[in-house]
Chain A
Amino acid sequence: MELVVSLAIGVLAGSGVWLLLRPRTFQVTIGLALLSYAVNLFIFSTGGLRTGADAILGRGQVGTLAEFTDPVPQALVLTAIVIGFATTALLLVVLLAARGLTGTDHVDGRERDR
């Protein structure tokens, strides 16, 4: 499972970085989205990867982290998803405004050869 998750994070991050370096604003946005997926998965995996562990403690159970999954990375990833979602939405609006004002979807607001 570790291998699958780390490969997934790696592929997402790699594609994200490649798209981020592309000249079109839409590619940059998608690149940022992929990168944030990679980071979210990464945060999630810092709590340790386990199958079949309890999500929370059962009644009367005095637990250590060996018995249930660490809730802190889940809380972190939730916050990160919300914030990432909101800022990506904002970026989309700015992207559309830039497209409207400059007449091109190049990240610099003008084509290179012009």
Chain B
Amino acid sequence: MAEQTLPTNTWPANGVPSDLIAPGRKRLGFALMAAATLGLLAVIALQTLYKTEVTTLGFETWRPVVYAYLLWGVALGVGQVLTRGEDGQRALFLLPALLFTIAMVIFPTLFGFYIALTDWNLSSFSGRKFNGLDNFWQMLADPYYRNALFNMVLYVLAVFVEYVIAFGLALLLNAQIRARKFFRVVFLMPLMLSPVAVSWMIGKSLMEYRFGPASTLARTLGWDNPAFFSNPITARISIMVLDAWTFIPFMMIMLLAGLQAMSREVLEAARVDGATPWQTFWQVTFPLMLPVSVTAVILRIIFKLKLADIIITVTSGGPGGATDSVSSFIYREYRDRSNVGYGTMLAMAYLIIIVVFVTWLLKFATRFVRNVN
């Protein structure tokens, strides 16, 4: 993405430049930020003492700490403007999103790593106890978790089939056709529908064993026993189909935008040179579309790694955990067994795996695009 940032000094200065700020105002700003920080720390300390039953003074829940954090954020923003003038005003653009994300991601993730090292089960009364790496060793020996990870590999590989279909549809929509807008809206429709509703509409109703239209069709086509979700392999394929139905439009729209941005002259030149449509596609269109394709596939893989809703609602992982994704497995670990500690360990391990995987994928994709072009 093109960088358009400007060095700060090229801006005409209308606000107060930082060196012209009155020392009194500066002092006020620093005092405000210091007071807010002390206040926040004091509230946290007070609440910690109360919860550990050292003092009797405190609040019922930790919510006042959230309010204190909000106030601290406001004071920090005001302080920035007071002490740094226009630079502070610039920082104000970024501060809300930054403070929000840090509070919502960094702290819970760190807390998650702590929970992962405890044997916390909500249904047992003993509360949480630190148990070191026990969860980790249990995870390594867990065949169901390994199976879920293996399923994720299969589900991610299915993205390439989706990509081929999406590319085909994008080519169709890019051809000289009438009612293009109508077809575009219709093709986009599945993406708008909630995966849970889709699970019911297709997974539980259309694919119903006895009288679902999909089963009837399968019987007519010669499949005697169209049980879509009872055999591990067909169940996995059915889940992939359901997920593909919802998400193919996403890739299709990106690829269509790529096709429409392609210059007509190049295609025209290929035709003048006597290339067949088949040659034109492989020699011209496909290579030119490679950067868009890579973006679409990577985004789709990232979404695929979160796959859970459809599996939870259609098969709940069955038969025998055959269709489980990592997310749906952890969901049941919590829902059915209240196993917060172990579930969190699984989630954290998954996080590390996918961060490594996606980083590698991005590196690999950059090199791949550069080598081909």
Partners in one complex: no
Interface residues of chain A, those whose CB is within 8 Å of chain B, are none
